[in-house]
Amino acid sequence: MEKGFVVAIDGPAGAGKSTIAKLAAGKLGFAYIDTGAMYRAVTWKLLQSGETFSPGIASKIAREIKIVFRPENAVNRVFVDNTEVTDAIRTAAVTRLVSSVAAVPDVRTAMVRQQRRMGQEGGIVIDGRDIGTVVFPQAQCKIFLTATVEERARRRGKELEAKGEKVDYIKLQDEIAFRDKQDSEREVSPLRQAEDAVYLDTSDMSIEQVTDKILDLVREKQ
Ligand code: DC
């Protein structure tokens, strides 16, 4: 394995990035870095603090927060300042606010610095919105993973139903479309396909097919 190899996976909410990135990392023997979880962790801490959201508060939290990933079996456990937040960062309250937090320039600067530090040795699969364009523009393998809004809502809905939640699919589609818009239209590091990324529409693909395709692309680049 070439030292320093980075697999960058970007794409909109609910495209299956984290599922695929985790599987691909396992097969490659790479570490997995979930950058969305990092923006969620900052958002969680902001909500915990009881403060009202402002760019200043969010930036302060992003500069001070200590985020640690501890992979355990199939679960990528997430800790903030030694408290486990693996499930807490996936709540509706965090999901509603996270795009606004992630749009704050100083929050992004702090997170990107941590992401580069975590990935400096390479041997990583890292997913997010700006990985191939900003965080690791030199990544050897870049993939832009997407699917139709309807399909992404269907997948997210199935996950929520599996957890026993009642799902309003139209509302879910609207929320996903809203987050896409916020993430794509923000001024700093908007969601965008890198010029040298491979575009992969997974609407009609299974998880195994997408993972295999990514492993093929990595082998081609090695
Ligand atoms: O992938 P996710 O849904 O967990 O990401 C949560 C939010 O964080 C998403 O709305 C966009 C933002 N994000 C980002 O701006 N940049 C990244 N590299 C990863 C996520």
**Pocket (CB within 6 angstroms of ligand 1):** 13, 35-36, 39-40, 98-99, 102, 128-130, 179, 183
* pLDDT at residue 1, as a whole number: 44
* Closest C-alpha to ligand 1, atom 10: 99
Q: Read out DSSP for 66-100?
A: -EEEEEETTEEEEEETTEE-TTGGGSHHHHHHHHH
Q: Are the C-beta atoms of residues 143 and 7 closer than 8 Å to each other?
A: yes
CA of 130 relative to ligand 1 center, distance in Å: 9
pLDDT at 142 over 90: yes
CA of 68 relative to ligand 1 center, distance in Å: 17
Q: Which of 32, 95, 98 to mutate to test the pocket of ligand 1 (most atoms within 8 A of CB)?
A: 98
Structural element, H or E, at residue 142: strand 141-146
Q: Provide CB contacts within 8 A for 41, sequence distance 6+.
A: 65, 67, 78, 80, 85, 89
pLDDT tens digits for range 59-81: 999 999 999 999 888 889 999 99
pLDDT tens digits for range 5-29: 999 999 998 899 999 999 999 999 9
CA of 36 relative to ligand 1 center, distance in Å: 4
Mean pLDDT of 156-162: 91
* Closest C-alpha to ligand 1, atom 13: 36
d(CA 95, CA 105): 19
CA of 169 relative to ligand 1 center, distance in Å: 21
* pLDDT at residue 57, as a whole number: 98
Mean pLDDT of 81-94: 95
Mean pLDDT of 36-45: 98
CA of 3 relative to ligand 1 center, distance in Å: 27
* pLDDT at residue 4, as a whole number: 86
Confidence band (pLDDT; 50, 70, 90) for 163? confident
Structural element, H or E, at residue 134: none
Coil, helix or strand for 10? strand
Q: Which of 35, 96, 185 to mutate to test the pocket of ligand 1 (most atoms within 8 A of CB)?
A: 35
Handedness of CA 132, 133, 139, 143 (dihedral sign): positive
Confidence band (pLDDT; 50, 70, 90) for 120? very high
CA of 18 relative to ligand 1 center, distance in Å: 11
What is the residue-averaged pLDDT of the chain?
Answer: 94
Q: What is the position in ligand 1's atom list of the atom closest to the CA of 10?
A: 18
- Indicate the DSSP class of residue 29: T
Q: What is the position in ligand 1's atom list of the atom closest to the CA of 18?
A: 1
Handedness of CA 59, 194, 201, 211 (dihedral sign): negative
Tokens, residue 138? 């030199």
* Closest C-alpha to ligand 1, atom 5: 36
pLDDT at 2 over 60: no
Confidence band (pLDDT; 50, 70, 90) for 42? very high
pLDDT at 214 over 70: yes
* Closest C-alpha to ligand 1, atom 4: 36
